[in-house]
Amino acid sequence: MAVAPLTLDDLRTAGLAQIDPEVADLLGLELERQRGEIELIASENFTWPAMLEAVGSVPTNKYSEGYPGRRYYGGCEVVDEIERLAIERAKALFGAEHANVQPHAGAQTNMAVYFACLEPGDTILSLSLSHGGHLTHGLGANFSGRLYTIVHYGVSRETSLVDYDEVRELAHEHRPRLIVCGGSAYPRVVEAERFREIADEVGAYLLCDMAHFSGLVAAGLVPSPVPHCDFVTSTTHKTLAGPRSGFILCKEEHAQALDRAVFPGMQGGPLNHVIAAKATCFRIAASEPFREYQRAIRANADTLAATLEEGGLDVLTGGTDTHLLLVDLRATAWTGKEAEERLAEVAVTVNRNTVPYDERPPTVASGLRLGTPAVTMRGFDEDDVREVGRIICEALGPSPDLDALRARSRALCERRPLYPGRPAFATLPSAGSEG
Catalytic residue, candidates 136, 233, 235, 280: 235
- The reply on whether position 322 binds ligand DSN by CB under 6 A is no
Closer to ligand DSN by CB, 134 or 273: give it. 134
Cβ closest to ligand DSN, residue 267 vs residue 433 = 267
Strand 178-182, strand 123-127: pairing: parallel
State the Cα–Cα distance between residues 38 and 402, nearest whole angstrom.
15
The answer to whether residue 43 forms part of the interface with ligand DSN (CB under 6 A) is yes
* Cα–Cα dist 349/85, whole Å: 36
Q: With CB under 6 A as the rule, give the number of residues binding ligand DSN.
A: 4
12 vs 166: CA distance, rounded Å: 61
Out of 59, 66, 106, 132, point to the residue binding ligand DSN (CB under 6 A): 106
Assess 353 for contact with ligand DSN (CB under 6 A).
no
Of 177, 238, 337, 342, which one is the catalytic site residue? 238
Choice between 43 and 45, CB closer to ligand DSN = 43
209 in active site = yes
The least CB distance from residue 140 to ligand DSN, in Å, is 17
> Smallest distance, Å, CB 132 to ligand DSN?
10
Smallest distance from the beta carbon of 38 to ligand DSN, in angstroms? 17
Between residues 43 and 409, which has the closer beta carbon with respect to ligand DSN? 43
Which CB, 134 or 228, lies closer to ligand DSN? 134
Based on the residue annotation, tell me whether 65 is a catalytic residue of this protein. yes
- Please pick, among 10, 20, 63, 390, the residue that the annotation labels catalytic: 63
Q: Does 154 bind ligand DSN (CB under 6 A)?
A: no
Describe the crossing of helices 382-395 and 402-415 by its angle, rounded to 10 degrees.
160
| Least CB distance to ligand DSN at residue 131 (A) | 14
Which residue, 98 or 134, has its beta carbon nearer to ligand DSN? 134
* One character per residue 112-141, x = contact with ligand DSN (rule: CB under 6 A): ----------------------x-------
| Contact (CB, 8 A) for 214 and 226 | no
Minimum separation from the CB atom of position 43 to ligand DSN (A): 3
CB of 71 to ligand DSN, least distance (A): 30
**Is 39 considered catalytic here?**
no
Q: Is 372 in the site for ligand DSN (CB under 6 A)?
A: no
Which one of 35, 62, 188, 244 is the catalytic residue? 244
**The only residue of 100, 110, 130, 184 in contact with ligand DSN, by rule CB under 6 A:** 184
> Which is nearer to ligand DSN, 43 or 47 (by Cβ)?
43
Minimum separation from the CB atom of position 183 to ligand DSN (A)? 8
In the complex with ligand DSN, which residue's Cβ is closer, 43 or 236? 43
Contact between 102 and ligand DSN per CB under 6 A: no
SS3 of the chain: the string is CCCCCCCHHHHHHCCHHHHCHHHHHHHHHHHHHHHHCEECCCCCCCCCHHHHHHHCCHHHHCCCCEECCEECCCCCHHHHHHHHHHHHHHHHHHCCCEEECCCCCHHHHHHHHHHHHCCCCCEEEEECHHHCCCHHHCCCCCHHHHHCEEEEECECCCCCCECHHHHHHHHHHHCCCEEEEECCCCCCCCCHHHHHHHHHHHCCEEEEECCCCHHHHHCCCCCCCHHHCCEEEEECCCCCCCCCCEEEEECHHHHHHHHHHHHHHHCCCCCHHHHHHHHHHHHHHCCHHHHHHHHHHHHHHHHHHHHHHHCCCEEHHHCCCCCEEEEECCCCCCCHHHHHHHHHHCCEECEEECCCCCCCCCCCCCEEEEECHHHHHCCCCHHHHHHHHHHHHHHCCCCCCHHHHHHHHHHHHHHCCCCCCCCCHHHCCCCCCCC
Q: How far is the CB of 199 from ligand DSN (least distance, A)?
A: 23
Residues with a known catalytic role: 63, 65, 209, 235, 238, 244
Which residues bind to ligand DSN, rule: CB under 6 A?
Answer: 43, 106, 134, 184
